[in-house]
Structure 1
Amino acid sequence: MTALVRTAAELAALEHTGRRAVVMTMGALHEGHATLIRTARELAGPEGQVVVTVFVNPLQFGAGEDLDRYPRTLDADRAIAERAGADAVFAPSVDEVYPGGEPQVRVTAGPMGELLEGAARPGHFDGMLTVVAKLLHLSAPDVALYGQKDAQQLALIRRMVRDLNFPVEIVGVPTVREDDGLALSSRNRYLEPAERTAARALSRALFAARDRLAAEHALLARATAGGAAAARADALTAI
């Protein structure tokens, strides 16, 4: 059975011989998280260890956001993690992660954290990077996996690991979508039917842009190939 550990000391006491792969989550696990865990299992191998962290990080929630009502489903999360191949779930309390209260020293996302989502959520990425840094130190993984759905988050984690010389490999895992194209997210349960319909417009726009770009590249390649063929024909004629 997948072990449940609550403290940094218990996590440090978990024995492993091969690679350790870590999947960081805020809980309310779904198939997207399960895909991350299964990928982690493949990367760790049969002799390695897969640890899933479940922690709702207060530092990355702004005023008026959903910290208090964010879904907390640890028993179900542990069951999903076990089915996907996790060896342990690390579910610390806020006091365990931030003993003595909110940390005075934090990781700053810098200019990358002020763009896009960061422009609408000041301080969000500082809080996210701070907890990721702490969890990387506590779990000491060889590889850590994150979903490509949160593209800006993934880019910032990779930049932090590079800039601060964390000894860990960061792996991005492709987005898992529902049948209607909506990316799987723990917060999807908040959506009313009309909001869900509106949310699908984003994935449709992304796919349309992808298809348009691919078509333009194909046309350019065809035109380039046609021009090259014509040039060769002209050269042969000149001979």
Structure 2
Amino acid sequence: EGSHPSLPLRGPCTAAFVGRPMAKEGEEQFQRIVSATRLHLPLDATAIPEATEQHLRNYVKSSQRLGVVAAIAVNAHEALVKQIAEEEAPGFRLHVLPVPCWGAFVPALNALLNFAQRCGAKYILYQSLEVQCTTAVLQRLLDHHTDDMLVVGPVFDGHDFQPGERLLNGRTTPWNTLALWSVRKLALTGFLCIADGLPDVAPSIGREGMQPVRGNPQEH
């Protein structure tokens, strides 16, 4: 997160970057959160790569510690993902959502959003599989998630962070590397197909509107 002050962005698309700490609330709020991640493999993949499997195991253990509902969108190896999750955290259910028509990333994001709606969740925490969210970081995201907020996220390397109101673009909005969204507000539109990009136009910032992850968000 860094030591930046909080950044509420007001208007029709409301967001916030996490900055200074606010008063903590009970961790029972975590039960109202669906943690949502994705695993996309090449169509000819016969197994899950070792490094990816370790990220999956870490994600399952992290979600179990947080006490959130966990869901993962996959395009292949659904049974194997379930098996790995059960091995890593017996008794903890990882909801595995098959998304055979992956596109760039929008279908998987919307499948996870639809799942969160069916669960009656208040928030959906999108995160990259390799990112582990600590209890302290998640609590701070919740602390900043006021009633008028659409999404809250930490500052990552590559963000163009400045205090105050900002126009939204790829470097001033939270990234789904780790971002806590209001299910009710996001479900009004979901992620639009145009977010997958135009066929003949190169992306301006990188796939999924994010830079490569260099590390997990910190509490300070």
> TM over 0.5, yes or no?
no
What is the TM-score of this pair, normalised by structure 1?
Answer: 0.31
Which protein has the bigger helix share? Answer: 1
What is the TM-score of this pair, normalised by structure 2?
Answer: 0.33
Computing the radius of gyration from Cα coordinates, the structure with the larger value is 1
